[in-house]
């Protein structure tokens, strides 16, 4: 997943607005994963 993101972002310059959206989406994903780890760790097995 990281390699795909790096390849996609290296093809064009990241604007300030796109950077803000990227931070928002990555923060939401991290919060979701943290919630799953705390509340439903059995989902990860």
End-to-end Cα distance, the chain? 19
- The pLDDT tens digits of the residues spanning 27-39 come to 999 999 999 999 9
Q: List, for residues 13-31, the tens digit of each pLDDT value.
A: 778 888 888 899 999 999 9
Q: What is the pTM of this model?
A: 0.64
Helix, strand or coil, per DSSP, at residue 11: coil
């Amino acid at each position: 997943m990281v390699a795909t993101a790096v390849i996609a972002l290296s093809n064009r310059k990241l604007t300030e607005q796109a950077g803000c959206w990227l931070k928002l989406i990555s923060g939401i994903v991290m919060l979701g994963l943290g919630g799953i780890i705390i509340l439903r760790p059995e989902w990860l097995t």
